[in-house]
């Protein structure tokens, strides 16, 4: 099943480093275990072992959640041999988590956003579980300047290479840490993987104010370029750091101050609203992730009311977004100079309306994300209110559009069609050029849940990767759904829109590049077909079990 705490979110919180405790949804008050528990006789029990060494892990807190994952049903602490037991459990589904200092808080048999819930009941063996518990890693180091002094208050950025099997390989910006007075930083609670570290900092003694044109260059007008491990300012020469489970790695970086650049720009009059400017952003790309550049913007002054100046900028490549409509300028800053505000490409607004495929009402508030189809650019977000939305500035390129209902229970709304200028295209793809776009976006508001069982050789197949594969190739992967089978082999695929699908189950399938349809197509012959219509209702139970096949 899907991780109760909406997996990805929880992972991010954990990686932020401050919290290595179990992250729980707000606990509702429950005076006591329901009285049925006193008589029901099922147990959730087993051993917690270190996934690297196989040794018992004592003292872990195990928590069985209710099926919705909203609250802890019961919890236990593992003894010296790593044994735990949660007794008097009624028949049901219980996602089981473990947490302990120095380990990655996670669910039983967790794979990314999925885990196998423990299913109790007649004939279910839930008393001999082996919980593989992964020790967390630590990445730390010291940032110094070229004089050997520690750099306090530097922003150290941590990036992690996406799952090695994913189609789009990229470095994801995980979190930031600030250095202390000794220049030290630390990222704790890390998953094993390949990491990159980059540092953004301002020299404590930097004097970036504009000198009068006649004055001699100020030797203290300096900046630190973004610097990567192992002390290089060339992103291509950055050294990856491989972190094993439970490992502690060190990455020290030396920063080298260089003369800072100054750029002036005459702001077009139409970008001044009242006495305020349209937003101006100087960004830079670090492993494909956009971050705000370190610069101070000064001006305008009464003498030059439309002139602004960027100071304290290290030489490098930047992206400047300014004006209305927004212009995006790729700036290769080598020497100081003046920026032409009309240069660059227009990032036009993209606006439109939303509708559902079956004409039913939409939620009032919907969150929309435009993600670059090639994964190389940051996404753009907008909110839709009563079906209307606008993205203010979308750079030209290929995009995919995703929608989720805002508010309490975020439900994914599959984008099944986008029409521009009266021409409808199936799927969630969108091409933005240099002109404003007006869209009509069709989403499926289906909330059908496809349930079934994965089996192999007549027995339950727990932990299998379940994929709902749409027959229509253009709907891949936006209409695809995944789950992990629970300990009794059961699974559920949520928010399935109308369409024809095949459900497949792959044992140990978690290392597959599932987003690549060619990889998945191999398994289709053994799958179970299912057709969902707008009349299918809340739950469709597959008539036959899905045979889990080996990867």
Partner 1 sequence: MLIGLALVLTPKGSSAQQQADNNPAPLSSAPPATLHGVVKNTATGQPLPRALVSVGGDSGLAALTDGDGRFEIGGVSQGPNVVTLTKPGFDDGTDDSSIMGSILGTGSFTHNVVVVAGMPDVDFAMRPSNAIHGQIQLSTGDPGENIKVTLFERAIQDGRAMWRPRDTRPTGADGAYRFAGLPDGVYAVTAVDSELDVAQMLTTSRSEVDWFAAMYYPDARDFSSAGRIRLAGGQQVQANFMLVREPFHLVRAAVASPNGAAVGNSASLPKGTMIFLTKNGANVPLEIQSVLSGLEAKVTDLDGRLLPYRPQYDAGSHTVRALLPDGTYSLRLSASRPAPAPPGGTAFRHNSLMTGQGDVSVAGHPVTNMRIAVAPAPSDSLQVLVNRTQPQPESLSGTSDSNTGVYISATLAGQGVVDQAQGEFAQGPTQGMLETNPLAPGSYWLHTIVAERGLCESSFTAGGANMAREPFVVAPGGSTAPLTLTLRDDCASLKVSLPGENAGIVAGEEPAYTVYVVPDADLTTDAPVATLRASTGGVHVFNNLTPGSYHVYTFTAAVNLEYHNHDALAALPTPGQQITLSPGDTGSLVVEVPQP
- Considering only residues 106 to 135 of the shown chain, the ones binding partner 1 according to CB under 8 A are none
Q: Which of residues 145-164 bind partner 1 (CB under 8 A)?
A: 147, 149-150, 152-153, 155
CB of 317 to partner 1, least distance (A): 16
CA quadruple 452, 458, 462, 465: dihedral sign: negative
CA angle 98, 101, 103 (to 5 degrees): 60
For partner 1, the closer of residues 28 and 538 by Cβ is 28
Q: Can you spell out the DSSP letters for 244-261? A: -TT-EEE--EEE--EEPE
- For residue 19, whether the previous peptide bond is cis, meaning omega lies within 30 degrees of 0, is no
- The answer to whether 220 contacts partner 1 (rule: CB under 8 A) is yes
303 binds partner 1 (CB under 8 A): yes
What binding mask, one character per residue, do residues 29-48 give for partner 1 by CB under 8 A, x or -?
xxxxx---------------
Contact region for partner 1 (CB under 8 A) — 201-209, 389-397, 409-417, 420-428? 201-209
> What DSSP line would sit under 177-203, residue for residue?
EE--TTSEEEEEEEPSEEEEEEEE---
Please report whether residue 268 would count as binding partner 1 according to CB under 8 A.
no
79 burial level (CB within 10 Å; 0-12, 13-18, 19+): middle
**By the rule CB under 8 A, 79 interacts with partner 1:** no
Residue 406, interface with partner 1 (CB under 8 A)?
no
With CB under 8 A as the contact rule, which of the stretches 65-73, 352-360, 391-399, 417-425 interacts with partner 1? Answer: 65-73
**What residues numbered 444-473 form the site for partner 1, per CB under 8 A?**
none
Map the footprint of partner 1 across residues 86-105, applying CB under 8 A: 100-102
Per CB under 8 A, the list member of 121, 240, 259, 299 interacting with partner 1 is 299
Among the listed residues 70, 75, 411, 419, the single contact to partner 1 using CB under 8 A: 75
In angstroms, the Cα distances linking 511 to 111, 135, 166, 278, 519 are 10, 20, 9, 46, 11
Contact residue for partner 1 among 8, 41, 305, 407 (CB under 8 A)? 305
Residues 514-533 that bind partner 1 (CB under 8 A): none
DSSP-derived secondary structure letter, 80:
T
Interface pick for partner 1 out of 182, 242, 330, 431 (rule CB under 8 A): 182
Instruction: Report which DSSP code applies to 111.
Output: B
Q: Which of 140, 161, 471, 500 binds partner 1 (CB under 8 A)?
A: 140
Size of the site for partner 1 (CB under 8 A): 74
> Which part of the chain contacts partner 1 (CB under 8 A), choosing from 124-132, 184-192, 395-403, 411-419?
184-192
- Please identify, using beta-carbon distances, which residue of 25 and 417 lies nearer to partner 1: 25
Cβ proximity to partner 1: between 188 and 454 the closer is 188
- Candidates 534, 459, 545; CA nearest to 505 is 545
Among positions 38, 41, 164, 204, the unique one binding partner 1 when judged by CB under 8 A? 204
Residue 538 zone, left/alpha/beta (φ > 0; ψ -120 to 50; rest): alpha
Cα within 13 Å of Cα(100), Cβ side: 23
Q: Which residue's entry shows tokens 């469709």?
A: 540
CA distance 110 to 385: 36
Q: Which is nearer to partner 1, 102 or 325 (CB)?
A: 102
Interaction with partner 1 in 323-352: which residues (CB under 8 A)? none
Q: Sketch the per residue contact string, 230 through 249, with partner 1: x for CB under 8 A, - otherwise.
A: ------------------x-
Render 8-76 in DSSP notation, one character per residue: HHHHHHHHTSS--SPP-PPPPP--SS-THHHH--EEEEEEEEETTT--B-TT-EEEEEPTTSSSEEEEE
């Amino acid at each position: 099943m899907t991780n109760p705490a909406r997996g990805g979110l929880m992972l991010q919180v954990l990686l932020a480093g401050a919290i290595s405790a179990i992250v729980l949804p707000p606990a509702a008050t429950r005076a006591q275990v329901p009285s049925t528990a006193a008589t029901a006789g099922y147990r959730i029990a087993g051993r917690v072992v270190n996934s690297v060494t196989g040794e018992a892990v004592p003292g872990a807190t195990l928590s069985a959640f209710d099926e919705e994952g909203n609250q802890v049903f019961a919890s236990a602490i593992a003894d010296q041999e790593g044994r735990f037991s949660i007794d008097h459990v009624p028949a049901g589904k219980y996602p089981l988590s473990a947490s302990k200092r120095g380990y990655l808080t996670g669910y039983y048999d967790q794979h990314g956003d999925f885990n196998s819930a423990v299913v109790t009941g007649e004939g279910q063996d839930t008393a001999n579980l082996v919980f593989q518990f992964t020790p967390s890693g630590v990445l730390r180091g010291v940032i110094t300047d070229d004089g050997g002094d520690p750099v306090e208050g530097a922003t150290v950025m941590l990036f992690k290479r996406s799952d090695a099997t994913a189609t789009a390989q990229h470095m994801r910006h995980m979190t930031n840490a600030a250095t202390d007075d000794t220049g030290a930083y630390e990222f704790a609670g890390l998953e094993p993987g390949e990491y990159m570290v980059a540092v953004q900092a301002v020299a404590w003694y930097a004097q970036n104010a504009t000198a009068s044109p006649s004055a001699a260059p100020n030797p203290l007008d300096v900046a630190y370029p973004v610097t990567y491990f192992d002390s290089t300012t060339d992103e291509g020469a950055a050294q990856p750091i491989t972190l094993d489970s439970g490992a502690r790695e060190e990455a020290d970086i030396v920063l080298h101050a260089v003369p800072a650049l100054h750029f002036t720009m005459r702001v077009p009059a139409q970008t001044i609203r009242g006495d305020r400017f349209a937003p101006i952003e100087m960004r830079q790309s670090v492993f494909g992730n956009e971050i705000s550049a370190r610069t101070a913007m000064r001006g305008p002054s009464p003498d030059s009311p439309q002139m602004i100046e960027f100071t304290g900028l290290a030489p490098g490549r930047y992206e400047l977004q300014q004006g209305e409509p927004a212009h995006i300028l790729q700036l290769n800053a080598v020497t100081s100079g003046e920026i032409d505000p009309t240069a660059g490409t227009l990032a036009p607004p993209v606006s439109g309306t939303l509708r559902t495929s079956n004409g039913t009402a939409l939620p009032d508030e919907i969150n929309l994300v435009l993600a670059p189809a090639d994964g190389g650019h940051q996404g753009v977000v907008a909110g839709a209110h009563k079906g209307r939305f606008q993205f203010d500035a979308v750079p030209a390129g290929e995009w995919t559009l995703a929608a989720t209902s805002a508010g309490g229970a975020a439900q994914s709304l599959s984008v099944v069609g986008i029409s521009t200028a009266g021409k409808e295209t199936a799927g969630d793809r969108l091409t933005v050029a240099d002109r404003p776009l007006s869209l009509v976006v069709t989403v499926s508001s289906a909330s059908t849940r496809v349930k079934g069982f994965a089996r192999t050789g007549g027995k339950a197949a727990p932990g299998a990767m379940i994929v709902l594969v749409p027959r229509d190739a253009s709907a891949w992967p936006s209409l695809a759904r995944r789950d992990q089978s629970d300990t009794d082999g059961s699974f559920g695929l949520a928010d399935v829109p109308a369409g024809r699908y095949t459900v497949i189950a792959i044992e140990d399938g978690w290392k597959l590049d599932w987003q690549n349809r060619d990889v998945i197509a191999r398994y289709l012959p053994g799958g179970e077909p299912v057709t969902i219509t707008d009349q299918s209702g809340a739950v469709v139970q597959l008539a036959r079990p899905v045979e889990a096949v080996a990867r």
